[in-house]
Amino acid sequence: MKLLILSDGKKGHENQSIAYAKLLGASYRIQQVRFRSRLHKALSYLLDWLGIYSDTLFAPMAISCDFDAVVGAGSGTYYAAKLIAKRCGAKSIALMQPKGYRKNFDKVYAQYHDGGTMPINFSLSHPQGHYKCDGKCVAMIVGGSNAVYTMRREDIQKVVDFIFTHFPQHKKLLTTSPRTPKEIEEYLSQQPFDYKVIFSQNPINPIGDFLACCERVFITIDSTSMISEAVSSGKAAVEVVPLPAKKGSKYQKMVDHLQTLGALHIFDGSIADAAKKIDLKEYL
């Protein structure tokens, strides 16, 4: 099977599509798509409901119809997926709920927190060779503030103190992310982790290495992608670190559901052995 993956330029969306292709055992190529303007994107919602599909909404793109299905993840790809699928006589596949567009794709893989059946995002994680565990290890994976959550130093410090108090014999690993606030990075850079990645200084991703060999990982709640990766890969028990929320969110709905499945535990000053892994192939 051959797939055409449409990318809106967001790595998180693109990575979901690549994971889907690899889990399916399909070959794929990636095509960038970009609306000419915000107005053109807004118009795509109306045209989709009218059943009208036009490539004039997009920056020029050359498409050869040598694939069986078109895959889109993210609002910048859904209209294009239908347009190209119709033109090439291929299937159209949406990863995540295509909000605002008609749901008349050949297949929609919507997450539980968006009213679907998928417990997590499509994700595929492998060690990248950044770190190889030597003995028992515990890791901390830190995201950052977003539209829902505010990351404060005191919330992170509580987890750091817990790790150093309760895992004295373990190697302690850390990575921050592109969204981690500077104040948090500065605090974490001063802590005596055995291995640490401060992303602003060293932009690599060791999460796959951590998941492959740590017995436990602590992950902040602000990233559905990082959580999806943790509960579907490796062997680590997963502790999700809550943060102050400005409103109810898909993140909380997602982790609450995953906790009932035994795939993670919401850290509350105590820990659990929540290490059940989600087999995404069951949802293909």
Q: Could you tell me the residue ranges of all domains in the chain? A: 2-110, 137-283
For the record, the structure tokens of 168 come out as 């004295």
Instruction: Compute the average pLDDT of residues 23-36.
Output: 97
Over residues 207-213, mean pLDDT: 94
**137-283 shares the fold of 2-110:** yes
Residue 6 has pLDDT above 90, yes or no: yes
C-alpha of 162 from chain center: 26
> Angle formed by the axes of helices 182-189 and 153-166, to 10°?
20
CATH topology of domain 2-110: Rossmann fold (3.40.50)
User: From 3.40.50.1950, 3.30.360.10, 3.40.640.10, 3.10.450.50, which CATH number describes the 137-283 domain?
Assistant: 3.40.50.1950
The order of strands in the sheet holding 27-32 is 27-32, 2-7, 69-73, 91-95, 107-109
Compute the half-sphere exposure of residue 84: CA atoms within 13 Å on the CB side of its CA. 28
> Do residues 187 and 156 touch, judged by C-beta distance below 8 A?
yes
Distances in whole angstroms, Cα of residue 171 to Cα of each of 149, 167, 212: 29, 8, 14
Q: What is the mean pLDDT of the chain?
A: 95
Residue 15 predicted with pLDDT over 90: yes
pLDDT in tens, 170-188: 999 999 999 999 999 999 9
Q: What is the mean pLDDT of residues 194-214?
A: 95
The dihedral formed by the CA atoms of 33, 36, 40 and 44, expressed in degrees to the nearest 10: -20
Q: Count CB-CB contacts under 10 A for residue 30.
A: 14
75 against 134, higher pLDDT = 75
Q: Which residue has the tokens 């902040």?
A: 220
Average pLDDT over residues 262-284: 96
